[in-house]
Amino acid sequence: MIGPFVAGPAGNLIGSWGIDELAGAYLVSLVLFVIAAIVVFIGLRPDPREIGKQVAEKYPDTIVRSRVVRSMAQIFSQPAALVALTSMVLGQMVMVLVMVITSLHMRGHQHDLTDISLVISSHTFGMYAFSIISGRLADQWGRGPVIITGSLTLVIACIAATISPDVLPLGVALFLLGLGWNFCFVGGSTLLADQLSPDERARTQGFNDLLVGLASAIGSLSSGFIFAALGYNTMAFISAVFAVIPLLLASYWTLKRARKSRAIA
């Protein structure tokens, strides 16, 4: 979020040394990563894992353990788990597809590094700033409505990104893209955790993170090819189509669940 205030000046500084201005952002990132690593290594004591072990040993009756640990196939055969997985994986892929190529799109329209940084900063703000709100909404509205809201926001963001290559419209579109991803990820991860016993969570969530990482890789690799072959707007429309999938799945699951609850009542 402070990128616009760092990337431009860092680029100008390192450019005066005869190095490409884009290297400035990487230099700043390197310094910040080193500082973060030192803080975590020195300051994160005791290790949260050790605290968890001590709590589990001291209060064994508070941890409910399932006698049967289900396989991945059994877990994701549940509609709720499948909706959660789809919302996170496709939400991630849609977000990455549009995000990673927007900088190149803006550079092609002669935007400078500061303008590009402002748009990406807006996107990052949308991704993370509202996590507390989206978490509370997942409890108040339910997981399904939050995923639906996130998917719909992703669709709107992808379409909005095609309106204009100017900084303000792209900044708003990328902000919505980050916000939609946030709702899909918070709602999806919460819904997935709801379906798992403590003994299943680490393995299942790790597998989910693997798929999310693969979705990022696919989005990053394919965005350049789609952009080169079809252009930015077409790529954004393709991304919107992918965002519709979790929207439809979450809507169907939510409606079916509501009907079931009414029938029981």
Three-state DSSP class for residue 45:
coil
What is the rounded average pLDDT for all residues in the chain?
Answer: 90
State the residue range of the domain holding 161. Answer: 73-264
Task: Compute how many other C-beta atoms are within 10 angstroms of the C-beta atom of residue 56.
Answer: 12
Asked whether residue 143 falls in the same domain as residue 17, the answer is no
pLDDT per residue over 18-45, tens digit each? 888 778 888 888 888 999 999 999 998 8
Tell me the DSSP string of 53-100.
Answer: HHHHHH-GGG----SS---HHHHHTSHHHHHHHHHHHHHHHHHHHHHH
CATH number for the domain including 85?
Answer: 1.20.1250.20
Asked whether residue 197 falls in the same domain as residue 171, the answer is yes
pLDDT per residue over 124-153, tens digit each? 999 999 998 999 999 999 999 999 999 999
Specify whether the CB–CB gap between 155 and 181 falls below 8 A.
no
pLDDT at 216: 95
**pLDDT greater than 70 at residue 257:** yes
67 part of a folded domain = no
Q: How many domains does the structure of the chain reveal?
A: 2
128 part of a folded domain = yes
pLDDT per residue over 148-170, tens digit each? 999 999 999 999 999 999 999 99
pLDDT per residue over 51-78, tens digit each? 877 877 887 765 555 567 888 999 999 9
